[in-house]
Amino acid sequence: MELKVLVLGRRNVSRRVYNSLADNAVSIIVQNDIAEAITLLQNEKFDLALVDGGIDNLESICYRITWQCRVPIIVLVSGKEADWNLLKTMDIDGFIPEGAGKAEILAYFNSIVRRIDCRPASVKILIVDNDESSLDVLRTAFQMYWPEAEVKYTLSGTEGLLSIRLDPAHLVLLELNLPDISGFEVLSKIRSISQVPVMIMTSARTPEHVVKAVDLGANDYIIKPFKQLNLMSRIRQHLTLGAAAGKIKV
């Protein structure tokens, strides 16, 4: 299967990528203008966006491609220019050295596409939280960035556990401070029936809370208040890696 890839970056970098891959099983579209690249990605079907890591406003551009265009991103990095601290926190699907060979690049392209294809087509998110201010932020975030996601809200641990059994989700966002039972107890009971990714989302900041949550099987720990895009990105990453999402043992 031929991959269709948009290459976005400085002219010398994008031209070099085009020349190295044009003869292989990949269709390359080179675009040096960001606005035109976003329009192309929104209006045509691309398998990947390969973004030059040396362009200005890299993080912002990658966020736009991820959330406006819904296209996987690989960042092409140069050892001399790479900001590794930034790359580690960015919402991207991977990065590859600028000097990588043709075979390595193509193999990496295919591995990313296969991994993305494993994500559930229709995402179901369960939120277990009774904090109205947090719920307002979450509703806004999903409406803005992920309107097609099916999001269910439960206000107690008991309701959350019942929902997990009756209508399994692909990912759970769980508050520790619940009105009926502890979020730790909810997490423990979820892990007795399912390996669905669980992200703890709480204002409790102590190392003891984090260690206990991880020991009980939490996949992530988000401190309130949180940035909407950061939360959305971490959800997306867990769904991509998402081992055994939604598999219930009954």
Within this chain, do residues 8 and 66 fall inside the same structural domain, yes or no? yes
Average pLDDT (195-215) is 92
Instruction: Answer whether residue 143 shows pLDDT above 80.
Output: yes
Within this chain, do residues 28 and 54 fall inside the same structural domain, yes or no? yes
pLDDT in tens, 39-56: 999 999 999 999 998 888
Instruction: Answer whether residue 172 shows pLDDT above 50.
Output: yes
pLDDT of residue 157: 96
249 located within any domain: no
Q: What are phi and psi of 6, to 5 degrees?
A: -100, 130
Domain that holds residue 75: 3-117
Within this chain, do residues 189 and 100 fall inside the same structural domain, yes or no? no
Residue 192: band (very low, low, confident or very high) from pLDDT cuts 50, 70, 90: very high
Q: Tell me the three state secondary structure of residue 201.
A: strand
- Domain containing residue 196: CATH number: 3.40.50.2300
**CA-CA distance, 217 to 191, in Å (whole number)?**
7
Within this chain, do residues 143 and 105 fall inside the same structural domain, yes or no? no
* Distance between first and last Cα of the chain: 39
The whole model's pTM is what? Answer: 0.74
Considering only CA atoms, which of 219, 154, 216 is closest in space to residue 191? 216
Within this chain, do residues 131 and 237 fall inside the same structural domain, yes or no? yes
**CA-CA distance, 217 to 233, in Å (whole number)?**
20
Last residue of a domain, one of 81, 97, 117: 117
Within this chain, do residues 210 and 154 fall inside the same structural domain, yes or no? yes
246 located within any domain: no
Last residue of a domain, one of 96, 117, 138: 117
The answer to whether 174 and 199 are in contact (CB under 8 A) is yes
Within this chain, do residues 139 and 171 fall inside the same structural domain, yes or no? yes
Residue 102: band (very low, low, confident or very high) from pLDDT cuts 50, 70, 90: confident
DSSP string computed for 192-224: HHB---EEEEES---HHHHHHHHHTT-SEEEES
250 located within any domain: no
Within this chain, do residues 222 and 145 fall inside the same structural domain, yes or no? yes
Instruction: Answer whether residue 152 shows pLDDT above 60.
Output: yes
pLDDT of residue 250: 26
247 located within any domain: no
The answer to whether 28 and 22 are in contact (CB under 8 A) is yes
Within this chain, do residues 202 and 183 fall inside the same structural domain, yes or no? yes
Considering only CA atoms, which of 122, 123, 57, 53 is closest in space to residue 94? 53
Residue 84: band (very low, low, confident or very high) from pLDDT cuts 50, 70, 90: low
Instruction: Answer whether residue 243 shows pLDDT above 60.
Output: no
**CA-CA distance, 189 to 249, in Å (whole number)?**
12
Give how many domains the chain has, as a whole number: 2
| 14 Cβ contact partners less than 8 Å away, ≥ 6 residues apart | 7, 8, 30, 31, 32, 52
| 213 Cβ contact partners less than 8 Å away, ≥ 6 residues apart | 176, 184, 187, 200, 221
Last residue of a domain, one of 117, 148, 174: 117
For 109, left (φ over 0), alpha (ψ -120 to 50), or beta? Answer: alpha
**CA-CA distance, 144 to 90, in Å (whole number)?**
19
Average pLDDT (185-191) is 96
The answer to whether 196 and 170 are in contact (CB under 8 A) is yes
**CA-CA distance, 204 to 107, in Å (whole number)?**
42
Q: Tell me the three state secondary structure of residue 36.
A: helix
Looking at 71-201, list the stretches that DSSP marks H as alpha helix, in order from N- to C-terminal side: 84-89, 102-117, 132-145, 157-166, 183-193
